[in-house]
Structures are given as structure tokens and as C-alpha cells.
Structure 1
Amino acid sequence: MSVFTGWRAALRIARRDALRAKGRSALVVAMIALPVLGVTAADVTYRSSVSTQAEELTASMGTADALFSDPGLGGGPIAQMPQGDSYQQAGAEDEGESGTATGSASGSASNSASDSASGGKAGPHTGPPDLKAALPRGARAITRQDVLATVTTAYGITAKTITELDTADPLVRGMVKLVRGAYPKTDRDIVANDTFLKSAGLHVGSHTTVRGIDKTFTITGAVEVPTDLKTGFLYVRPGALIKPWQRAAAADHTLAQPTPGGRSLFVKAAGGSGVSWQDVLAANKHGVLVESRSVVLDPPPDSEVPMASQFSGSDTGSGPGLRLTAALATVVTMAVLEIVLLAGPAFAVGARRSRRQLGLVGTCGGDRRHIRAAVLAGGAVLGGAGAVAGTAAGLVLTVALRPVIEGWTGTRFGGIEIHPWELLGITAIGLVTGVLAALVPALVAGRQPVVESLTGRRGVRRSSRVMPVLGTVAIVLGGAAAVLGGLKGRAMPVAAGSVLAELGVLACIPVIVGSLGRLGRFFPLAPRLALRDAARNRGRTAPAVAAVMAAVAGTVAISTYTASTQAEQAYDIHRTLPPGVLSIHADTYGEHADPARALGLARGLARRDLPVEGSPATVSRVWAGSDCDRFDDADTDACGSLTMPKPKANICPLQAAGGKDLAARLSADGHKQLMNSPKCRDAEYADANFGGDSEIVVGDSAALRVYAGLKDPAAARALAAGTPVLLNNAYAGADGKITLKAVHRYVAEDKANRERHPGKARTTVSHLSVYRAADRYAATPGIRMIMPQATAERIGLHTSPVAVVYRVTRQPTDAEEQRFDDGMSLANGGASLWQDQKPDNSDATLLILALFSGVVTLGAAAITTGLAKADAEADLTTLSAIGAPPGVRRTLSGFQCAVVAGTGVLLGTAAGAVPAVAVRLTDLKRALDQMKLHPMDSAYTPIVLPWETIGILAVAVPVLAGLLAAGFTRSRLVLARRAD
């Protein structure tokens, strides 16, 4: 007889059994399909979101053959790499200096010298290159050029970059896409993307005016830049804005000249031959940077690339590929683990429900092999159904959620990329793991005596006493290995130790579940029954708890690491204003600047348009010598200076001799404490928010209260009495005084200052007694000392109002900012709004992880509850028979579900913290090593638990699981004969 004959019968039995027990089969299929769905969706999403090189070129240059641009190196021949991402002045190869050009989101290269030539060697300035002279013969080109302009909105005005580009030309297809409306047809038409329209309160058909030249445009269409959905874009026809603006400024000298960005050309070669590498080299001789489609897709040999020798030793590496492979392997392993843990109990319950049928197989001559085959066939049937359903659902879900995913990432997919072999592999994994999940139940069923199977008795089975001991040892050893690996900065021990510790927790779960029954004595009937049922049927409960733990552990680990790195990044951010403070700065540049008038207007507009609270504080800048901001051609080195030298004894120890040795002895906390001390607080930089590197301002007690948050009556009295308030005590000497060094110089045009301080340039030194604030105020951004007006006048310094500062209840919205800016412009301007942008720590990844863990937790709890109902139907019948109220069934199901979800979440939280802490210790070791080389670099490596995510998982998910289980359970009495 063929070996397949027995399997044919087993598959037939499995198919009929699956159709007979539709509820249990649906649960198994759902839990196999869920991880397969997740892996399928992740695979398709990743493949679709990663752009091919051809798609990236289309996003940067449309359908053009090449993009010609000004590299901003000051003119003269250049050398570049074939991709156009690295370039330098020709002849600088031996010096190893190069610049880097990066295409913007809308497809233009960075053309300013400061952006594109940082680190590059600029030759003699010969002006911008002639882009058209560098074109291949017969090529067609269209021009792109940007200019920053102020445009009107529905709320006021806003500053935006407007691009002159023929968006209707076929050369830009794929780079700019029309969503609705029409492309510009005249020089009075403009198109914008939805991001700008939403922030400006405008729509297709609205009008917007460019302030200055007062040219009004009609918004004829809404466009989309597929590579950047979160930035506002505006497009007009070439020649519609910059040239009219230049002509108007030439006729009216009071009108500011526009400051266009560098030009670029989208080039289509004649005859469709493309732009060759020889064409690129010819354009380089004209000083033009070229990104050619054909060259990027088919690079020339290194022998033809002048810069190739500088990159011959570059390590392309396989680090990202290896990390991606490791990540995919981890995801697949987690999916397999969850399938086995969740589906295994279902097959075990199914085998027990079918034990009489399996016993009959034995009475008909079947041996253990045939019984095992029948149970394994059930795994194959349900596993195959779940794998196919999960793969199909993953595809459908990805397509349905594509707009949401693109909104999160800020970029459009090039298309839905489906790799059939990968999806087939995922489906096969679902099928194989379905069989693996049925393996243990098959072995147990094969060992069960035929008589016991026919009578329905389960017998008594004791839990293993060895596994908890091994699990405890694994937890201790794994946790120790992970922590020690983190302290040593080695990734492999961290990974191996974390996995070992989690496996140890898995081994201990049956004992933990068994101990839950002892807690039942403290609870009413329904939760007591739920706890004791979980403990008595730990073979069914423990795998479900383990599956929840596995899902939650991964989420908690990644969430903890992400929250910790976000806290580290927030600590490293250099704030320009204190939290909750908004500053309105007056323009001080130009001979006609009137800061006092501008700030007076700003106060009224701020009360009307901005979410300010309380009275504002006026801050004045202070300087010695000439006010250079008033003169276009003033030599700032000849205008005087005001400095507050720090005593040598108060120099930051990390910057003094032996700073590296000190850093090597410090811990991360010790380094943080030292860097936050007044001596080191401003050792790296000066804010100079209010003019001058001295960070000294003139103000009164309101400046102390509103800006610095210093509500000290003694400090206010000191200011009123003419004593400056020192916020950074490191600038005070041993005698408690500070030293001011003022160098007075004057330019010829500064007649007012000449009359006030006649004679040659002079230097004055003042020693002032100060009121010293607490050390924590040394961290106040932009200010070291607040000086009274009378003291500044007494020592011969100049002052002028520069800003008014407010406390705000929240960050102003776009509409409020635009309304304020419009009010200032209508009053002839003179002031601008400054605010410290709060770092965006919102991470959609954390939300997705929490939702994924919540879904798995709910699914696992639902599976276990359904299995418990199927497995304990006789017990529920007994409850009904002895007079239990109808609601007991409902509440019992709810508590059974909550017990599984809550236990798994708590264990998963503990298990997930281990790898997160270990990895952060690895980061700490790396930061400490870096600090030894660069003593001023921070080694602050916090460990922050994501309490919001943990709260959702630990409280909301179990409660929701219990309520759903209770809501979907029938409470009516079902009387039946119990047969044991």
C-alpha cells in the first residue's frame, strides 16, 4: 500500500472534522492568518516604499534625460562622480576636498554655495556658469528657478519658496503631478500642493498676492510632489515672477531685489540618445554639475572618472543588507512562534474533542502513526487555509491602507510591488507552522490509550518540575549575559542573552499560570472560576499567554528603545528660547529702522492674534562703539565689541588641560552634571539671540520673570537699585564682581556716535557688583546677564529695544502666525515672530506597534476564551444545572479573556524591558568611548519606559478583551445531559 493512502484518509478526516467544528476551525484559521497577514503586509509595504533607482531619477528630473545645475563653487571647471552626488573644483583631486550635492524633494539640486559646496575648494570667482552653453547639441531644456517671496493667505501672509517651472511640460511628468484643476496657462496663474492650501486656508480658484510687487495670481490647480507630501510648494510659469520683480526693483529703489536660488535645467537630448558621460565631462568644463539618467543607470568605468581615485577605497559594505536580513528573520521567527503558540492549544483541544473518533481509528486497526497523521493533517488543512487567507488579506489590507501609509511616511509609493516568490514563501511558512503547531497534540494523541479515548476520560497529568528550574536558570543567565554584553558594548551577547531570558520566561509560564488558581480565593465567583480554570487547563492557557507575551515583549522593547533615544535627542537639542516663551524681534538693520515703534505695534497684534498670557517684557540689546546694523558697508570688526570674560578659575574643566583625562574618569551622570554646571553650560556656543556674543541684555524685573522664569523678589529689587542680575555665576570672580571689556570704535558714517563719543577708539574696563541667581538659571538660552538701563548709560554703553517676549499658553497655529505677520506688514513691518520649535517626537511606529500587540493580545485572548468554552462546555452545563444565574456564563468568559490578556501583557512588559535596557547599555558604552575622545560630547543615555504604550497594553487591552468576550457570549441557560 502506498504511503500516501494513509495520508489521503487522514486529510479527508481532517477536512470533515474542520467543517464539523466550524467555530474552532475558524479560530485556528484566524490565528494562523493573523501573523501571515502582518508579514505579508510588511513585505509588500517595504517593497513598495523602497524606490528603485529609476523611480528616484523620475522623482528628481521627471522624464528628462539629465538635470544641469550650478554647483555653487564660484565658477570654473569641476569634477564629479557619475551619480552627481559628489563633486569638487577641478584640480582639487590631490587635496581630497569635495562637496556634496543632494537633490531636493521636488527634484532640484542644492545650488547655493553654502549648501552644496561645504568642504569643497572654490576656485576664483567667475560668476555662475552658463548652463545653456553646456548643453549637448540639439538638446531641449526647460528652466527651473526658486525665489523666496511673501504671499497672502486666507489668514494673512506667509513666506514661501515659489518655483518658476513649466509644470505642464512633459519633461516634469512624475516629478510634479496635477491632482485637480489645471496647470498655469498665463503669467497670472499659479499652482500649489494641498499642504500649502490647507495651511493657508485657500483652494483652487482662490487668489494669492506676492507682496512687494503686489502681483496677484489665481490658483488654477492643486499639484502633488510624490517624494514630499508634507512641505508646501508653489509653482508659476518661467518668467512670471523673478524678472518682473527685478524690473520693478530697478525702477523703485525702495523695493527689495529678489534673491533667486540657482538655476537648473531639465534637459532632453536630441534623438532620444540620452546624455552620455562624455556630455557630462564636457559640461563639467563649463562648471556645470550634471545628473544624467543614462550615466546613473549605467556608470562609466573608473578609468574614465577623474574623481574615482578618491573613492576607490570606499567601503560599500553590506551592513544595511545584513541588518535588513536580520530584521526580516526576526519578524518571520516571531510570526512562526506566535502561530505555534496560539494554534497549538487549538489543535490540542480539537484532538481532545475528537478523542473518541481517534479511538475508533485504533479499534479499526489503525496504529499510533495513523492517529498522529490524522491530527497533523488537521494542521495542514487549517494551516493551508490560514496561510492563503492571511496572504490574500495582507495584500488587500496594504492596498486599502496605502494612502494612510503614504501619509505617515510623507512619500508616495512608486506602485504596489509584489514579489511572488516572497509571498509564496510566506504562505509556505504559514502552512508549515500550522503543521508544527499540531505536532505536539499529535504526539500526545498518539500516546493516549484507546480505552481512555473511547470513554472520554482525560487522566491525570502532572506538570514538569524540571522546566521551571531550567527556565529560572535561563532567565538569570540570559539577563546577566544581556546586561554584561551591553556594558561591554557587544551586540551578540545582548541578542543571545535577551532571547535566552525570554525562552526562560516561556518555560516558567505554566508554573506562573498554575499559581493563578491560588488567587481565586480572594475574588467572587466568576473571576475565581476563571483563575482556577486557567490554572487547571494550563496546557491550553500557557501557550496563549506566551503568545501574548511574545508580541508585547517585542513592542515594549522597541518602544522603550525609541522613547529612550527620543529623550536623548531632546536633551541634545540646543534651545534658542526657554520653554513656553515667544519672542517678537525688531528689525535693527538699516538707517530707517525704528525698533521702538515696531515693538509697540507688535504688542497690540500679539494680544489680538497670538495665544499670549500676562504682561510682556521688553528686552534691549546693548553694545559699545558704532551700531553696525545701520550701515550696509560697515566693517563689523571696526564697530567695537562688548565682552564679559570668564575668570580663568571658572573655565570648564573639560576644556582645560587634562580635559580628556577627566572625561575618561567621569560616568555619564557625572559628565551630565558637569556639563550642566555654570562653568560648562555655555562652553560650546553662544546664543546671541538679542545681538552681540556677550549675551548681555538690558531689561527690568519683567524680563527676569517672563523670559528667565526667575520670580525672586530680591533679584527684582537688585535690578531696580541698579545692580545687574547674573544668570551664569561662572562669570563672577572671587570678589563677586564681573568684568566688562568694551572696545569703542566708530565708522565714518556714524555721526551721532561720533558726536556723543568724540576722539579715537578706546577701550574701557568696568568691574560691576552683581546679584547672582541660582545655578539652574545658567541654562537660560541667549542670556547670561540682565543689566538695568541706568547702569548701561552710566558706563557709556548704547542700548536699543530689540525684542518683546511673552509667555504663551501653546504654540501658535499657522493661521495665527499668518494673521500676525499680515498685521505687521500692513503697519510697514519692522518686527518678526521667533519661537522655539518643539521637537516632533511623535512616532507612528510606536502607535503601529501598540496596535499590532493589541490585536495579537485580543486575538490570543479571544482564541483562548473560545477554546475554554469549547473545552469546558460540560462544566458550564453543570453550572447551569445547579442554578447558576445566566450572567455567570457571560462574566466567566469575560474574566477568562482578561486573565490571559493581562497575564501575557505583564510578563511581556517585563521580558521586553531586558533587551531594551541591554541595548541602551551598549549605546552608553559607545557614548562613553566617544566622550573620552571628545570631552565636550554628551554621554547622556537615558532609559525611558513608554508609559503610554504600556498603559494601553496593560490596562486598556485586557479590559477591552474582557468586555468583548462578555459581550459576545450567550447568557441563556443551556440544559444538557453531562456524560463523562
Structure 2
Amino acid sequence: MSAVLAALRIARRNAWRSRGRSALIMVMIGLPVLVITTMLTFIETMNVTAQEGQVATLGTADARLVRTREGTVLRQEPNGGSWHTGGDEAAVSRLGAAEVTALLGPDTRLIPFNTGVLRLGTERADALETDLRDPLTKGVLTLREGRFPAAREVAVTPALGLRPGDLLRPSGAAPLTVVGVVEHPHLPSLRQVVGPDLPLAEPEEFFSQGEYGTGWLADTAKPVSWADVPTLNRAGLHVTSRAMLTDPLRTPVRGPAFDVQSMVGLGAMVIMVVLVTVLLAGPAFAVGLRRRRRELAEIAAQGGSARHLRAIVLADGLVLGGAATLVAMVLGLGAGTIGPHVVARWGVGAGARWGPAVGPADVPWTPVLCVAALGLLTGLVAALVPAVQAARQNTAAVLAGRAPVVADRRGWPLVGVALVLAGLGATVVARRQPGSVWVLASAVLVLFGLVALTPWLIGYTGRMAARLRLPLRVSVRDAVRHRSRTASAVAAVMAVTATVVAVGIGAHSEYMDRRNAYTSARPTGTLAIWGGTMADATWTKLRAETARLLPGVPLAAGYQVQDAQGRRYVLRYTMRWNGTKTRRTVAVGDQALLGLLQGRHDPGAAAALASGKAVVFDPAALRDGKLTLRASSTSGPPRKLDVPAVLATSADEHQGGALLPRALVERAGFSTAERQLYAMHRLPADSTLGRDLAKVTSRVTVAAEEGYRNVPDPGLWGWLAGALVLVVGGTLAATRLAAADMRPERATMTAIGASPGTSRVVVAGQAFYISGLGALVGLVAGTVTGVALSRPMTTYGAGDPATIAMPWPFLIAVAVGLPVLATLGALITRTGQPLTRRLL
């Protein structure tokens, strides 16, 4: 025990004496621990469970009841989910407070609790119509300033930027006086107005039942359990209650079954994190060993055994790894706890009504402690190779001031070749498997093989040193002479570069595949207005209102297909688009709609449509001049139709579909009714067209074709930034080690007249050699993995070809930019004139 304590004490003193090197090692080891701990704590804190959010949902009430939309059949399940389908508008009558009280039993007290939106000119805010002064609403919102509102008064959340005394001016209603500022317990960035009498409006977009609508908070004599839910659902009420959230009869949620792919993926990720961290921190530990060779030799001369020397160096890994893990874990827990509040308050996503939710601080201790153990293990593994070298050093040679000679292990290149070949074979097999985890696992074998091959690659590429100028020749020969030190840095750069290149190629290929797979039935910029099942008189009113709201905009009509019994049918055909089986719905219309779909007048297509033929924009859908259609209905038998068709060119490159003339559909035994309108028109951002048309009938849908809107993943350049930090940091650490080891050579060069600039070029040449060789090998390895990774990421079946796309600017930045930056960093590194004794 005394030997272990002595080793730890020596390691602690050495770490304090070399604070710069110790800080570098701690950063290398602690950074993964910091990132993973922050992410785990962040996710756990932002996860607001039903139990954590019940006060914000219910206040002190026993239940919240929300009336569903007319024509909705609702069924809530005991597993916590709900499902609702459209039904007859007369299926459910809307109950009043008296009827709801009767359903819940005697001694029930209800207060209004209505949710919707409030129009504020061109903007809007969520609105809650209730009396916050009532005890049932305690905890729903927290009062920050002023008081709770009374009649014709409102309270607002801080995101609206209003203060008590300001006026709020809803569209089409009298101004309301702001008397208080309130905050949601879990949604700090929520834009909400609260008051007992608000001009509420329903949102235009889709929303789930229970999110918006008129309803009540209920104080009941007995709990509202799952046994009461079916009756309340049949009455058109969505229910949320305390008893439902805590009822032991709820269907238990089964834990995920053992997933081999997930375990393999997790194992590959852990191995990669440990490998890259060890390779990056290894040169820094080697720096300590180089500087402590004489100290360790003196301990050996005084009777210290090889076991004692190994323990001293391993104690460095234990002390620095433990300190790095502890600091990183504390910082990660702090960032993961504070970060959600910052993101929830300021990080409102585009198009979102509110920012992310945030719950009470919560730490997943089991995963966090596993990550901490991983960080401690990484420190020990990083110090393992220097510990073995310390135990094998020649004590007499070190005390005499001679550099130790490290013999190469001849078997390592054969092991490396075997691992690379095995990894490549596994990659070929893995690329045919579903999921990308097997390709990543195969890449780990390739990386281990390349790590084992790195010393041989350094020796092989060192043969070119004779052709280089003197400073670069000295750099390369020194790197070859100290290849154990150089190999660790080169392997670290190689592993980071390979990982970033593989992820870059896979992500870019996936983006290009999505872009190529994008397809639409209408040109970009098309406004579509669809009417559901409705009477002819209702459609006539809807069409007239559309023409009034869009003056001067040409409207092309589309037609709905029905059989003789009035059952609605949809005509579709199936074809392959970008290797994926795609089902398209055809349109029925006339020359005006054809001109809109083609973006011009096509005499050939117009003549074919007039003669009763279908006009098709998908070449793969045509077979011998015919288009095969399937007519399907929710209430009638399906039918198969083969109709004559001609091929035409659409307005947009990625546009498909087909247009059928009314005469062709009617010859097949169907009838047609105008229920669609199309126009080449872009609505302004503050347009209220959908809301205005919904006043005529709720069975109307307004949609706009905006084209492919996704942009390349910005995280790709985030990977490049991470690679920049790791590659440049690892290269500079190895360069500082090289500068320390090259003191005799630099002293000799200075003695014979070399300038300080030459010394800097020598050090920079070492950095360029390390980063350049690592980036080149990593580029090749990453390209192989990235190409293999593209297949499972871009294919969806045996007949679907893979999309392989190279992000050339990204690859050039990785392969060329990283070595150049590492070299520039080495050029500005201090390389003072060495004063050393040269052995003659």
C-alpha cells in the first residue's frame, strides 16, 4: 500500500510541476466526459413527465375536460395515448356545464378553462380564458409581476414584452388592459395571454385533441379514473385527471427488448471515444515520460523495480484521469442543469408556438457514473504504453544522457494488415445489411488495423527524407527515429479524420438522396384549395368566396370522382421514383389545369387531353401507351382501370403525376363534381385565407407547394470544427514533444549558423508530416467507410440503388485545411534557442 501511495504522491507532484502538460491531458480526457454528461443531464432535465407537469396542467383541480371538435369520435386508451377519427357532424352533441356536472356526479364544481389563440394584428399568441384568481388554477401559471386579471383585464407572459398598465389590442375586439406578468412553470418562452373573457380563435394548423378547445377544470367528489373515461369520451370530452396519471391499472410500458444492433453501436461508439482520446492524450503522457526519464532512472538505480516504474507512470494516468473526470462531470452536470433553462427561455424553434419545455433538475446517475468510469479508464489506458516503456528503459543509457533506442515489433504490420483486410471484408458484408451500425462496427476493425500499421507507414514514408531540403529532412528523420511518439499522433489524426470523412460522406449522400427523392404533383408556387364532402350549394359559396379573397388570380378547377351511389373514389397509380415505390393520386381537370401543371401551353398534350386521353408526367408509369389506375374508396369496392395516355413534360424537374379529362372518367362509369381549385399564387406570411374560407365550411383545406425546402445538414461543418480542435491540438502536443526531443539536433544546427526561422521550419515540418500523413490515411479509410455507409442510409429495399455523393468542399477542407492549420499553428509555436550539451 505504501508503494501505491508513494506513486500517487509522485504523480500528484509531477502533475503540479508540469501544469501546462497536465492541463492538456485533462482537457483531452475530460472533453468527452463533459460533452456526454452534459447531453445526458440536458435530455433528462428537459423531459417533463406527466407527473411533473400535472400541476401546470390541472392546478389543484381533479380533472380537466376539453370539448372535442364537432364530427370527432374520440377514444382515449389506458396506455396514455388517445386516438380520434372523423365522424358524422351530428354524432356528438356539445354539452354545457350542467350536463358535464351531471356526468361527473354531485358536488362537482366547474370553472371555465378555454384555450385557443389571440390574433394581434399580423401576429398571434396562445390564449387561456380562465380566472386565475380561482383556487383551482393555483400552480397553472406563476405570478411574476402585478396581479391576476379580472373582467376586461389580462395577464401576459414575459415573451410578449408587455408590462402592467399596457394595452393589448386583439384583432376585431376592444383593447384589454395588462395587469400582470405570469410565467408557465415549464415553458418560459411561451407567448400567452390569460384572462377571464378573451376573444378566442382556433388555430389554423393541425392540433391534437385536448390541446386547444373550450372546457373546464373540475373539482370532483371522487377521482375521475379510467373507468369514467369511455363515458366522457362518448359525450365528446377529452379528459386529463390526476387519477389517470397515477392509476396503477394503466397498461405498463415495457422496457425495450435486447437489441443487438443498439449494443453493437454503443460498443463501437465507446471504443472510438476511448481510442481517439488515448491516441490524443498518449503523446502528452509521452512528453512526461521523456522529461522524467532521468528521475525514473534514478529511482531504478536506487532499487526501484520495473513494477514500481510502471506504477509511477500509471499513477499519472490515474491522477490526471481522475481529476479530469471529476472536473468534467461537475461541469457537465452544471451545464446540463442550467442549459435547459437557457434553451427553453431563448431557444424558440422556427415556426414553433413556444420553445422547448424544461422540467426540474434531474440527473441520470447510472449513465453518468458509467461515463465517469469510462473517463478514468481512458486515463489509465493512455498512460499504459508510456508505463511499459518506462519499465523497459535502459537506466545506464538514460543517466549517461543518451536517447533510448526503441526497437520495432516486426509482427505488428502483419497484425495490422490482417485487421484491415478483416475490416474491409466485414464492411462489404455490412453495407448490405439494414442499418448503419454494422458498417460503423466494421470501420472500428479497419481503424485498429491502421493504428497497428502506422509505425510501418512512418518508416516507409520516411524514405523520402533524402529528397527534401535540410529543415524538412531533419523533421522527417526525427519523426521516423521516434516513431513510437510519432505513431500515436499520426494515428490520432487518422482516426479523427476517418470518422469525420465517413460521417460527412454518409450525411451528404443522405441529403442528396432526399433531394433527389423529392417529388410533387404540382409546380412550386401552386396554391391548392380542396373541398371535402359537401353539397353543391356549399361549394358554390366556397368558390365565390375564394374568388373574392383572391381578386385577379386565375383559378383552375379540379374534380372529385364519385360512383353512382355517391361514394367518393380516389384514382391512383404506382411507379418507382428514385428507386422507391411511390403511389401517386391523379388529378381530373381541363385545359386550364393542364396549363398550370405544365407551366406553358403544350399543343400536343392539350390535343391528347381534348381527345379523351390521360396526360402523364412520369415516364415509368406508362406501359404500351396505357396508364394503369386503381380506383379505391373507403366505402366501395376497388376497381382497376387501364386508360390511354400520352407522356408530357411537367413544369418542374421533380414534378410527377397525371391529369385525366372528365370525359375519360365518366366513360369508366364515374361522375365528377368540382371540389378543387388551383392557382399559381403565393400567399403572404400573414394571410388569413384558410381562416376566412373555414367560415364558409370547416371541410376545406388550403395547401401551398413550396418545393424542396430542406438544406444541407449544418452539423457537417460542426464535425469539421470538432476535427479542427482535435487534430490541431493533438498535432501541436506531438510537435511540442518533438521540439523537446530535437534539442540536440537544433543545437547543432544553431551552432553551425542556422537561423531561428530554420528552427521554426523544422518544428513546423514535423507538424505537417504528422497531420498530413494522418489526414491522408484517414481520408482513404473514411472514404471507404463513407461509401459503404451511404448504402444503408439511402436505400429502402433490395431494388433501390444507393446514392453516393461526395461533399468535395468538406473533404478538401478536412484533407488539406487541417494539415495547413496545424502547420501554421506550429510555425507560431515558441522554439527558443536550445542550450544543450552535445556528445562528441
For 1:340, the equivalent position in structure 2 comes to: 278
Against the structure 1 CA distance between its residues 397 and 514, is the aligned structure 2 distance closer, same or farther, given a 3 Å change threshold?
Answer: farther
1:133 aligns with 2:102: yes
For 1:82, the equivalent position in structure 2 comes to: 78
Check the 8 A contact 1:570/1:839 in 2, yes or no. no
Amino acid in the other structure paired with 2:216? L
Matches within 5 A, 1:436-455: 436-455=381-400
Please point out which of 835, 845, 868 is paired with 2:738: 868
Check the 8 A contact 1:551/1:856 in 2, yes or no. yes
Please point out which of 615, 620, 623 is paired with 2:556: 620
1:479 aligns with 2:424: yes
Please point out which of 342, 348, 351 is paired with 2:289: 351
Matches within 5 A, 1:516-531: 516-518=461-463, 530-531=475-476
For 1:942, the equivalent position in structure 2 comes to: 803
For 1:386, the equivalent position in structure 2 comes to: 324
Matches within 5 A, 1:321-470: 329-399=267-337, 401-402=339-340, 406=344, 407=347, 410-419=355-364, 423-470=368-415
For 1:91, the equivalent position in structure 2 comes to: none
Please point out which of 30, 41, 50 is paired with 2:38: 41
Between the aligned partners of 2:283 and 2:621, the Cα distance in structure 1 is 73
1:237 aligns with 2:195: yes
For 1:292, the equivalent position in structure 2 comes to: 241
Give structure 2 stretches of 5+ with no counterpart: 203-210, 350-354, 532-538, 629-642, 663-671
CA deviations over 1:631-650 (Å, ceiling 9, x no partner): xxxx998999999x99xxxx
Between the aligned partners of 1:527 and 1:224, the Cα distance in structure 2 is 65
For 1:187, the equivalent position in structure 2 comes to: 152
Please point out which of 873, 880, 888 is paired with 2:750: 880
SS at match of 1:465: coil
Between the aligned partners of 1:202 and 1:960, the Cα distance in structure 2 is 51
Please point out which of 963, 967, 970 is paired with 2:830: 970
SS at match of 2:64: strand
Between the aligned partners of 1:784 and 1:582, the Cα distance in structure 2 is 16
Against the structure 1 CA distance between its residues 142 and 474, is the aligned structure 2 distance closer, same or farther, given a 3 Å change threshold?
Answer: farther
SS at match of 1:42: helix
SS at match of 1:780: coil
Amino acid in the other structure paired with 2:378? T
Check the 8 A contact 1:521/1:528 in 2, yes or no. yes
For 1:316, the equivalent position in structure 2 comes to: 254
SS at match of 2:704: strand
Please point out which of 817, 828, 837 is paired with 2:685: 817
Q: CA deviation at 1:21?
A: 3.0
Amino acid in the other structure paired with 2:152? D
Q: CA deviation at 1:547?
A: 2.8
Amino acid in the other structure paired with 1:873? R
CA deviations over 1:228-271 (Å, ceiling 9, x no partner): 789x754443442259x9xxxxxxxxxxxxxx96434334456x
Amino acid in the other structure paired with 1:43? L
For 1:265, the equivalent position in structure 2 comes to: 216
SS at match of 2:170: strand
SS at match of 1:858: helix
Between the aligned partners of 1:203 and 1:531, the Cα distance in structure 2 is 72
When the two chains are superposed, the root-mean-square deviation of aligned CA atoms in Å is 5.5
Counting aligned pairs with the same residue, the percent is 29
For 2:584, the equivalent position in structure 1 comes to: 684
For 2:680, the equivalent position in structure 1 comes to: 805
For 1:13, the equivalent position in structure 2 comes to: 10
Between the aligned partners of 1:897 and 1:36, the Cα distance in structure 2 is 27
CA deviations over 1:510-532 (Å, ceiling 9, x no partner): 23344443555776666665544
Check the 8 A contact 1:554/1:912 in 2, yes or no. yes
Check the 8 A contact 1:598/1:831 in 2, yes or no. no
Against the structure 1 CA distance between its residues 395 and 489, is the aligned structure 2 distance closer, same or farther, given a 3 Å change threshold?
Answer: closer
Between the aligned partners of 2:580 and 2:274, the Cα distance in structure 1 is 48
Q: CA deviation at 1:694?
A: 0.8
CA deviations over 1:287-309 (Å, ceiling 9, x no partner): 64433334433422x8xxxxx7x
Against the structure 1 CA distance between its residues 476 and 453, is the aligned structure 2 distance closer, same or farther, given a 3 Å change threshold?
Answer: same
SS at match of 2:797: helix
Between the aligned partners of 1:385 and 1:226, the Cα distance in structure 2 is 37
CA deviations over 1:765-821 (Å, ceiling 9, x no partner): xx99x996348969536774899xxxxxxxxx9999966526x9xxx9xxx622898
Q: CA deviation at 1:964?
A: 3.8
Amino acid in the other structure paired with 2:584? E
Q: CA deviation at 1:163?
A: 4.5
Check the 8 A contact 1:53/1:297 in 2, yes or no. no
Q: CA deviation at 1:137?
A: 4.5
Check the 8 A contact 1:166/1:238 in 2, yes or no. yes
Check the 8 A contact 2:560/2:675 in 1, yes or no. no
Check the 8 A contact 2:756/2:833 in 1, yes or no. yes
Between the aligned partners of 1:948 and 1:179, the Cα distance in structure 2 is 51
For 2:631, the equivalent position in structure 1 comes to: none
Check the 8 A contact 2:518/2:708 in 1, yes or no. no
Check the 8 A contact 1:359/1:450 in 2, yes or no. yes
CA deviations over 1:108-162 (Å, ceiling 9, x no partner): xxxx754xx8xxx99954555843333355454443334567x343xxx357765
For 2:636, the equivalent position in structure 1 comes to: none
Q: CA deviation at 1:434?
A: 2.0
SS at match of 2:314: helix
Amino acid in the other structure paired with 1:21? S
Between the aligned partners of 1:731 and 1:419, the Cα distance in structure 2 is 53
SS at match of 1:487: coil
SS at match of 1:291: strand
Amino acid in the other structure paired with 1:773? A
Against the structure 1 CA distance between its residues 25 and 831, is the aligned structure 2 distance closer, same or farther, given a 3 Å change threshold?
Answer: closer
Between the aligned partners of 2:31 and 2:39, the Cα distance in structure 1 is 12
Q: CA deviation at 1:336?
A: 2.7
Alignment size in residue pairs: 790
For 1:31, the equivalent position in structure 2 comes to: 28
Against the structure 1 CA distance between its residues 779 and 596, is the aligned structure 2 distance closer, same or farther, given a 3 Å change threshold?
Answer: same
1:927 aligns with 2:797: yes
Give structure 1 stretches of 5+ with no counterpart: 86-99, 102-111, 246-259, 303-307, 309-313, 603-617, 626-634, 655-670, 687-692, 740-766, 788-796, 932-938
For 1:780, the equivalent position in structure 2 comes to: 655
CA deviations over 1:316-347 (Å, ceiling 9, x no partner): 35248887766665554433323322222322
Between the aligned partners of 2:762 and 2:611, the Cα distance in structure 1 is 76
For 1:728, the equivalent position in structure 2 comes to: 617
Check the 8 A contact 2:617/2:657 in 1, yes or no. no
Q: CA deviation at 1:22?
A: 3.2
Between the aligned partners of 2:723 and 2:18, the Cα distance in structure 1 is 28
Between the aligned partners of 1:125 and 1:821, the Cα distance in structure 2 is 28
Against the structure 1 CA distance between its residues 488 and 207, is the aligned structure 2 distance closer, same or farther, given a 3 Å change threshold?
Answer: closer
SS at match of 2:419: helix
For 1:834, the equivalent position in structure 2 comes to: 704
CA deviations over 1:574-599 (Å, ceiling 9, x no partner): 536434x3649799851882766654
Between the aligned partners of 1:34 and 1:298, the Cα distance in structure 2 is 43
Check the 8 A contact 2:64/2:216 in 1, yes or no. yes
Farther off after superposition, 541-550 or 399-408: 399-408
Please point out which of 48, 65, 70 is paired with 1:68: 65
SS at match of 1:506: helix
Q: CA deviation at 1:480?
A: 1.8
